[in-house]
Amino acid sequence: MARTITKITAHDVRFPTSRQLDGSDAMNQAPDYSAAFALIETDAGDGLAGHGLTFTIGRGNEICVKAIESLAPLVIGRTLEDITAEMGKFWRRLAGDSQLRWIGPEKGAIHLATAAIVNALWDLWAKVAGKPLWKLLADMTPTEIVRAIDFRHITDALTPDEARAILEANAPGKAVREREMRERGFPAYTTSAGWLGYSDDRLRTLCREAIAHGWTHFKQKVGGDIEDDLRRARLLREEIGAERRLMMDANQVWEVDEAIANMRRLAAFKPWWIEEPLSPDDILGHARVAEAVRPLGIGVATGEHCHNRIVFKQFLQAHALDFCQVDAARLGGVNEVLAVLLMAKKFGVPVCPHAGGVGLCELVQHLSIFDYIAVSASLENRVLEYVDHLHEHFVDPVVIRDGRYMPPENPGFSAALKPASLAAYSYPAGSAWRS
Ligand SMILES: [Mg+2]
């Protein structure tokens, strides 16, 4: 029976994380982790609803909420079956609406809102299928996956036929890799220890705790005073030893020459990658930094602020990134992430998604597990970010075991907030904001 989408509501939810300096880095000094939620209801009468979100860090979340409301009429009145039968075509109609696209196109608040709605539709689809999202994707045929992607503006890098060939080549090993994921999970790294606003003592304590919990990869925020960055890098290396991996994240604050000079000094502490050294739009600048730091054994990582598949295409074509950090809620939802996973595979670049914030870990675990099962078929140089904040507010929170994400088993995309949390952190009327 077809189910018609009858209603989409948008919610402004904000957590006052700035009070503890959780999430503080060189660019974002005091974020209040926030999400604009899209809730999709249908006429089916079985209680299944689609939950989707996009992530922001506070002020401006209301603009994403408004943008969800502006996109909603393009979805209401359609059936889930119609949408999912030609998901790529539907995605183009949503992202390419001839009037709304003017305030993008495919970037900014309108694209963040697109992510919330598209992710809610995939959540609903997975719930109707009775599967977690990663399993819904892993069970789709290569042709079905290709049909979900809008290849507009990327065919010079990846054609539908090439995408299908990648998926077909990996199809025979899917069952084995799915079993491996269920047994061992997907490898993760932690950013929880390295926030810029934390004291040295707190850094040491958090490192020791993380090592005790089995973490092997650690990320340090850099981009403040370089002497401070060097001191904290030395401290982190002392705590984690020579064998564990250290990554560094400058959160966009450097100039090109400055990034190269600073990384030449920080190279003494053997960072595995430097993340977002520059403006996220500076493709040629990243290419220059990458060329300069690769001989030092350092790769360039970026992508959490990469607006769309076309920008990722150019990063890949320009040999400007070594680690592709897709974000589940900045790209226009699952469909566009699929395009980037397949391009990264073609260009031989490992995908190490951005997570953290609120709900991003819950979302992106599905995409990395699918990536391994059906697209990359490799865990080499692949780790998924993990940040230990705010999971307690989710109905179906991530499960981490020995530094790895264990595959979610409940149907859907794991985006639903507990009703009590939704009420308490609604902005500005929730109890957390009135006190
Ligand atoms: Mg980052």
Predicted confidence (pLDDT) at residue 99 exceeds the cutoff of 90: yes
Whether cis (ω within 30° of 0) applies to the bond prior to 132 is no
CA of 346 to the centre of ligand 1 (A): 24
Measured distance CA(129)–CA(133) in Å, rounded: 9
Neighbours of 22 (CB within 10 A): 22
pLDDT in tens, 74-94: 999 999 999 999 999 999 999
Please compute the mean of the pLDDT values over residues 231-236 and round it to a whole number: 94
CA of 275 to the centre of ligand 1 (A): 6
Neighbours of 409 (CB within 10 A): 11
pLDDT in tens, 252-265: 999 999 999 999 99
Whether the full predicted model's pTM is greater than 0.75, yes or no, is yes
Please, which residues have CB less than 5 A from ligand 1, an ion? 249
Q: What is the 3-state secondary structure (H, E, C) of the chain?
A: CCCEEEEEEEEEEECCHHHHCCCCCCCCCCCCCEEEEEEEEECCCCCCCEEEEEEECCCCHHHHHHHHHHHHHHCCCCEHHHHHHCHHHHHHHHHCCCCHHHHCCCCHHHHHHHHHHHHHHHHHHHHHHCCEHHHHHHHCCHHHHHHCCCCCCCCCCCCHHHHHHHHHHHHHHHHHHHHHHHHHCEEEEECCCCCCCCCHHHHHHHHHHHHHCCCCEEEEECCCCHHHHHHHHHHHHHHHCCCCEEEEECCCCCCHHHHHHHHHHHHHHCEEEEECCCCCCCHHHHHHHHHHHHHHCCEEEECCCCCCHHHHHHHHHCCCCCEECCCCCCCCCHHHHHHHHHHHHHHCCCECCCCCCCCHHHHHHHHHHHHHHHHHCCCCCCCEEECCCCHHHECCCCEEECCEEECCCCCECCCCECHHHHHHCECCCCHHHHC
| Residue found by looking up tokens 């006429």 in the block | 43
Predicted confidence at residue 26, as pLDDT, reads 74
CA of 325 to the centre of ligand 1 (A): 9
CA of 110 to the centre of ligand 1 (A): 22
Q: Which of 227, 226, 286, 225 is nearest to 255 (CA)?
A: 286
Q: Are 271 and 262 in contact (CB under 8 A)?
A: no
Predicted confidence at residue 196, as pLDDT, reads 73
CA of 385 to the centre of ligand 1 (A): 9
Measured distance CA(18)–CA(428) in Å, rounded: 16
Predicted confidence at residue 27, as pLDDT, reads 77
CA of 276 to the centre of ligand 1 (A): 7
The residues near 262 (Cβ < 8 Å, ≥ 6 apart) are: 222, 226, 229, 250, 254
Predicted confidence (pLDDT) at residue 414 exceeds the cutoff of 80: yes
CA of 310 to the centre of ligand 1 (A): 20
Measured distance CA(386)–CA(219) in Å, rounded: 10
Please compute the mean of the pLDDT values over residues 379-383 and round it to a whole number: 97
Mean of pLDDT over the chain? 96
- One-letter amino acid of 96: G
Quickly state the pLDDT bin for 399 (edges 50, 70, 90): very high
- One-letter amino acid of 62: E
Q: Are 276 and 301 in contact (CB under 8 A)?
A: yes
Widest CA span of the chain, in angstroms? 64
Please compute the mean of the pLDDT values over residues 232-243 and round it to a whole number: 94
Predicted confidence at residue 283, as pLDDT, reads 98
CA of 304 to the centre of ligand 1 (A): 7
Q: Which domains can be identified in the chain, with CATH numbers?
A: 170-420 (3.20.20.120)
CA of 432 to the centre of ligand 1 (A): 27
Predicted confidence (pLDDT) at residue 128 exceeds the cutoff of 70: yes
Predicted confidence (pLDDT) at residue 28 exceeds the cutoff of 90: no
Please compute the mean of the pLDDT values over residues 243-247 and round it to a whole number: 95
**Residues with active-site annotation:** 221, 354
Predicted confidence at residue 435, as pLDDT, reads 72
Predicted confidence at residue 22, as pLDDT, reads 67
CA of 265 to the centre of ligand 1 (A): 20
CA of 191 to the centre of ligand 1 (A): 9
Predicted confidence at residue 275, as pLDDT, reads 98
CA of 330 to the centre of ligand 1 (A): 13
CA of 263 to the centre of ligand 1 (A): 16
CA of 23 to the centre of ligand 1 (A): 10
pLDDT in tens, 271-304: 999 999 999 999 999 999 999 999 999 999 999 9
Please compute the mean of the pLDDT values over residues 353-364 and round it to a whole number: 96
Please compute the mean of the pLDDT values over residues 247-251 and round it to a whole number: 95
CA of 299 to the centre of ligand 1 (A): 14
pLDDT in tens, 166-208: 999 999 999 999 999 999 999 999 877 767 778 889 889 999 9
